[in-house]
């Protein structure tokens, strides 16, 4: 080293005390040296590496990481195994502060980075900061498509790999600059990976997934979504090296087909949860699942456009899905009556089924399915437009003492023609506890009355957007429910009146806990008076957009047995600021109050309520 440079460094390290800040004349007057780096920064990275790896304490390493970006990056490049552990003369390894120099690898910490905060520098800081605090166990990165050039890259993942060998869960979303190199670094150092979630990672290919599979034998959960360069070879590597795989979710990966899925299912006997969506697979894949899926308990199939009726029929007929308990099928054109019946016969443990947008399923298939599915407890149909009221009634009758929940959503094929159905030919479904019918405009009073006669033990009733239902149709159902209704939702049933609410309160007031009358414009103060008299256990009441007034709120506030906790009055245009006294009186139990779009209540009244009901969340 030249003498002049040595003197310069010495001048930075040592200078005599003075009264003011030490600004040397060279910085004050010599513009040529005004931008020179601090002496410690001119050290080569190799020297700084050797210095920093001899600082074993977590607090000290954290302090060093705060010095500069360079120090942080060098610290994040040091593997846990490369940190020196000095031994004292007494043979112990305790620091003076009492902090142990031994690192715990429990992986108890969780870190999440989203949007602009997802950068390599933050990952480097996480790698350094978590190493002495139990170790990082779960890392979730949600990148930003608009942060091109500033997001997470392979450099950041490499820092995590070196500093966090205890990592068990890794989730990468929207990180286009992370490639196989970064994922391979994780695989090389983090052998405890159990859960891997890749979403919108266009730079990761089969090579990166194969690296994880080959080095992480404990992988039990794999989720891949919109990764355009991951294909069959990656799944084949997982099949070969990851026998503990239990959960599999694949969505919108055009390179994944029958070859990869068949290899995975034939080699992974522990897979129990499967979700396949928008894939270019055929009947062959479903046949493999039906034959090898002996441990599968949950199966979700969505948008499989190349699977035909034969695929679903073979899947059910293969008799391998003996443990399947939950099945969801959405927008699969191959789902027909024939395939549905085969699934019912081949899946003896099936308890829950949900069919969405299955346009080729008709009444015959639904009735045959419910007759063969001996353990079915939950049936949900959404936008299955070939199913009519006759099919629904037949399915309920077939389920006898097993079906507990029935949900119908936007089934346009249902028409109110139940007058031709004979009750004598039907069996009651005494097990049904929950009935939900949403936005099925053809479902009317005749069908509802018939359902009421078949289901006497209902406890949860949801009828939403059924404009064809009148008091005459709902009253028989309310009168036939012997168990006592606990939750009732009648939102947007515009033809219901006070008679229904009064009967509901009188017959089920001893059990009713939640009541939603949102949009029932014919409901008035008479309903609130009935609720006040009979509903002693009601805790959640929604009368938004109803024709209630201040007088009706007076009935509620004067009912000492009522303990309403959540009250919604949104859009009640007949309420005024006079309701203040009533709401104050009810404030002893209220924890939630909705006053949105109540134009008759002044802002000053709302301010007084906010001050008075200090423990109640008020929306206005």
Averaged pLDDT score across all residues of the chain: 86
Supply the DSSP symbol for 27: H
The pLDDT score that the predictor gives to residue 595 is 96
Mean pLDDT for the stretch of residues 365-370 = 95
The pLDDT score that the predictor gives to residue 2 is 43
- Whole-model pTM: value is 0.84
The pLDDT score that the predictor gives to residue 89 is 43
The pLDDT tens digits of the residues spanning 457-476 come to 999 999 999 998 999 889 99
The pLDDT score that the predictor gives to residue 22 is 39
Q: What percent of the chain is predicted at pLDDT more than 90?
A: 67
Q: Is the pLDDT of residue 92 over 50?
A: no
The tokens describing 2, both together, are 């030249």
The pLDDT tens digits of the residues spanning 317-359 come to 999 999 999 999 999 999 999 999 999 999 999 999 999 999 9
Residues 6+ away with beta carbon under 8 Å from 80: 103, 131, 162, 163, 165
- DSSP track, 598-617: -TTS-HHHHHHHHHH-TTSE
Q: Is the pLDDT of residue 49 over 80?
A: no
The pLDDT score that the predictor gives to residue 7 is 40
Mean pLDDT for the stretch of residues 105-134 = 81
The pLDDT score that the predictor gives to residue 447 is 84
Return the residue matching tokens 């924890």: 591
Find, among 202, 286, 198, the residue nearest to 238 by Cα: 198
Find, among 480, 461, 458, 481, the residue nearest to 469 by Cα: 461
How crowded is residue 383: how many other Cβ atoms within 10 Å of its Cβ?
Answer: 18
Q: Is the pLDDT of residue 390 over 60?
A: yes
Q: Is the pLDDT of residue 97 over 60?
A: no
* Highest mean pLDDT pick, 44-48, 74-78, 247-251: 247-251
- Least confident range from 165-169, 246-250, 450-454, 610-614: namely 450-454
The pLDDT tens digits of the residues spanning 495-547 come to 999 999 999 999 999 999 999 999 999 999 999 999 999 999 999 999 999 99
Return the residue matching tokens 């936005």: 439
Mean pLDDT for the stretch of residues 163-179 = 94
């Amino acid at each position: 080293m030249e003498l002049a440079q040595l003197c310069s460094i010495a001048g930075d390290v040592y200078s005599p005390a003075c009264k003011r800040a030490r600004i040397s004349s060279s910085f004050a007057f010599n513009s040529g040296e005004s931008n020179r780096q601090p002496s410690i920064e001119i050290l080569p990275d190799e020297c700084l590496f050797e210095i920093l790896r001899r600082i074993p304490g977590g607090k000290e390493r954290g302090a060093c990481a705060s010095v500069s970006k360079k120090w942080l990056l060098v610290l994040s490049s040091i593997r846990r195994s490369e940190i020196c552990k000095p031994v004292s003369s007494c043979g112990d390894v305790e620091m003076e502060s009492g902090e142990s120099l031994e690192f715990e690898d429990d992986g108890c910490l969780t870190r999440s980075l989203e949007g602009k905060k997802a950068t390599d520098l933050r990952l480097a800081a996480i790698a350094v900061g978590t190493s002495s605090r139990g170790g990082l166990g779960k890392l979730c990165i949600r990148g930003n498509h608009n942060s091109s050039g500033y997001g997470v890259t392979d450099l950041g993942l490499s820092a995590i790999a070196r500093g966090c060998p205890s990592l068990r869960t890794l989730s990468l979303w929207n990180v286009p600059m992370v490639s196989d190199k970064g994922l391979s670094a994780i695989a090389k150092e983090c052998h405890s990976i159990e859960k891997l979630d890749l979403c919108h990672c266009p730079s990761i290919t089969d090579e990166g997934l194969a690296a994880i599979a080959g080095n992480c034998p404990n992988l039990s959960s794999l989720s891949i979504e919109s990764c355009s360069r991951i294909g069959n070879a990656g799944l084949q590597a997982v099949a070969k090296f990851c026998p503990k795989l239990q959960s599999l979710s694949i969505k919108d990966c055009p390179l994944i087909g029958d070859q990869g899925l068949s290899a995975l299912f034939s080699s992974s006997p522990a897979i129990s949860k499967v979700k396949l969506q928008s894939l270019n697979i055929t009947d062959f894949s479903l046949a493999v699942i039906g034959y090898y899926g002996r441990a599968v308990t949950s199966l979700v199939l969505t948008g499989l456009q190349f699977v035909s009726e034969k695929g679903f029929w073979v899947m059910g007929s293969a008799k391998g899905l003996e443990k399947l308990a939950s099945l969801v099928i959405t927008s699969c054109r191959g789902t027909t009556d024939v395939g549905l019946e085969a699934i019912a016969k081949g899946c003896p443990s099936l308890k829950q089924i949900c069919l969405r947008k299955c346009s080729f399923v008709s009444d015959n298939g639904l009735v045959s399915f419910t007759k063969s599915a001996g353990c079915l407890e939950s049936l949900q149909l959404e936008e299955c437009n070939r199913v009519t009221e006759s099919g629904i009634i037949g399915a309920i009758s077939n389920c006898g003492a097993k079906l507990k929940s029935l949900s119908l959503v936007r089934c346009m094929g249902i028409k109110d023609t139940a007058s031709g159905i004979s009750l004598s030919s039907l069996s009651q479904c005494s097990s049904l506890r929950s009935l939900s019918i949403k936005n099925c405009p053809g479902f009317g009073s005749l069908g509802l009355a018939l359902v009421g006669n078949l289901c006497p033990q209902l406890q949860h009733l949801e009828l939403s957007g059924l404009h064809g239902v009148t008091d005459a149709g709902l009253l028989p159902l309310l009168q036939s429910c012997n168990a006592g209704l606990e939750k009732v939702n009648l939102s947007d049933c515009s033809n219901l009146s006070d008679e229904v609410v009064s009967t509901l309160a009188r017959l089920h007031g001893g059990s009713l806990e939640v009541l939603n009358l949102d949009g029932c414009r014919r409901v008035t103060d008479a309903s609130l008076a009935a609720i006040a008299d009979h509903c002693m256990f009601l805790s959640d009441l929604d009368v938004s957009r109803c024709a209630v007034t201040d007088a009706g709120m007076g009935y509620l506030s004067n009912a000492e047995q009522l303990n309403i906790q959540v009250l919604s009055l949104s859009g009640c245009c007949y309420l005024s600021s006079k309701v203040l006294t009533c709401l104050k009186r009810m404030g002893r139990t209220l924890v939630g109050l909705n006053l949105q779009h109540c134009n008759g209540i002044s802002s000053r009244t709302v301010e007084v309520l906010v001050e008075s009901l200090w423990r109640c969340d008020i929306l206005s």
